[in-house]
């Protein structure tokens, strides 16, 4: 197998890891005003992701860095053409991260409400825009002979792109509700489980419409298999949630996101950014790749450091595996651990 194909697959794995892990972070943030009925329950929700949210974001940083190093032409066209939505995502993530760090710094209800709003918006906006971006990457955008994006922001806000955004928004919300149900106990656990079932059905309808559209436009046999398995996993997750099996329900949404993203990359391959202007202008794993020597060095680096990163993250989730409830939350203090408010 050529190293260009290997690195395309590795970048796909990085995005799968990011969406599966950061997806429930986004979901928890978006559902804060829906699931939490008082400040103590809001603190419970913050603390479900408090120890892991920053580690989850590492995946997108590595995915961006890997794209820059392995496929510089892809990186250049993508980040210049999608500059505004990617900037909006970056600003939203910064604001969201500040909410985790600053909410507990001042014992004032107004102060906390404002940071709660920052968390909600900072979670919902990236959840929406990532779907818009990936829908356009897979379906294709106008690219000229110089490998430059010739559209604008409104080019990306097409019906398929917006549908993709709604899919990621509802799917991440479902994933987040499943995670809250898995990580909490008491009333909030039951509310999260009931909401996960309702959101899951909405996400399933939107996902089927979106994935069928992608499959008809640019899909392959492999992507079709991945999309069907993603749909089955989502329905199985919803069924498990209804039966009260939160662990299997979370596995269901986790697999749904993983298989759906894998299907998108399978539908994209061997392109990395198809051109709607002329197929000859499309960026592929061949014409957008770095030199063979660069890819070889990167491969050895990945072989050494990837197991370390995976081991560290697995250890973190194991340490913080227990459920949280309102009786675990201490009285408010002006300054607490940065792991959660």
Instruction: State pLDDT tens for residues 112-159.
Output: 999 999 999 999 999 999 999 999 999 999 999 988 999 888 899 999
| pLDDT, position 332 | 65
pLDDT bucket at 335, cuts 50 / 70 / 90? very low
> Tell me, what DSSP letter sits at residue 291?
-
Q: Where are the alpha helices (DSSP H) in 269-328?
A: 292-319
| Greater pLDDT, 161 or 310 | 161
Question: Can you tell me the mean pLDDT for 65-78?
Answer: 93
Average pLDDT over residues 8-36: 95
Residue 333, pLDDT score = 58
Report the distance separating Cα 265 and Cα 82, nearest Å: 18
Residue 186, sorted as left (phi over 0), alpha (psi -120 to 50) or beta, turns out to be left
Confidence bin at 260 (pLDDT 50/70/90): very high
- The pLDDT, as a whole number, for residue 96 is 94
pLDDT band at 211 (very low <50, low <70, confident <90, very high): very high
Backbone angles phi, psi at 271, to 5 degrees: -75, 160
- Cβ neighbors of 236 (< 8 A, separation 6 or more) are 248, 252
pLDDT single digits (tens) 153-164: 889 999 999 999
Tell me the C-alpha distance between 334 and 255, whole Å. 40
pLDDT of 326 over the 90 cut: no
Quick check: helix, strand or coil at residue 252?
helix
């Amino acid at each position: 197998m050529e190293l260009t194909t290997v690195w395309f697959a590795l970048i796909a794995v990085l995005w799968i890891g990011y969406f599966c892990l950061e997806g429930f972070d986004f979901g928890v943030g978006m559902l804060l005003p829906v699931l939490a009925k008082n400040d103590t329950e809001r603190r419970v929700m913050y603390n479900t992701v408090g120890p892991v949210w920053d580690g989850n974001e590492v995946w997108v940083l590595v995915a961006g860095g890997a794209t820059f190093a392995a496929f510089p032409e892809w990186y250049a066209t993508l980040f210049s053409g999608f500059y505004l939505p990617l900037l909006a995502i970056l600003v939203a993530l910064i604001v969201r991260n500040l909410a985790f760090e600053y909410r507990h710094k001042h014992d004032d209800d107004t102060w906390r409400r404002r940071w709660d709003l920052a968390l909600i918006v900072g979670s919902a906006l990236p959840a929406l825009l990532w779907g818009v971006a990936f829908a356009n990457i897979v379906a294709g955008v106008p690219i000229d002979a110089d490998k430059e994006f010739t559209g604008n922001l409104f080019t990306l806000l097409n019906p398929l792109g917006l549908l993709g955004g709604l899919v990621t928004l509802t799917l991440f919300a479902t994933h987040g509700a499943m995670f809250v149900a898995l990580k909490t106990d008491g009333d909030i656990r039951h509310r999260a489980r009931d909401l996960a079932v309702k959101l899951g059905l909405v996400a399933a309808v939107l996902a089927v419409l979106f994935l069928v559209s992608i499959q008809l436009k640019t899909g392959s046999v492999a992507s079709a298999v991945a999309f069907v398995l993603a749909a089955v996993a989502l329905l199985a997750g919803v069924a498990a949630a209804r039966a009260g099996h939160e662990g299997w329900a979370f596995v269901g949404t986790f697999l749904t996101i993983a298989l759906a993203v894998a299907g998108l990359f399978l539908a994209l391959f061997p392109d990395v950014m198809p051109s709607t202007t002329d197929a000859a202008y499309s960026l592929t794993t061949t014409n957008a790749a770095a030199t063979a020597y660069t890819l070889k060095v990167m491969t050895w680096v990945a072989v050494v450091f990837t197991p370390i990163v995976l081991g560290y993250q697995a250890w973190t989730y194991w340490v913080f595996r227990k459920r949280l409830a309102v009786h675990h939350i201490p009285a408010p203090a002006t300054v607490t651990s940065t792991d959660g408010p």
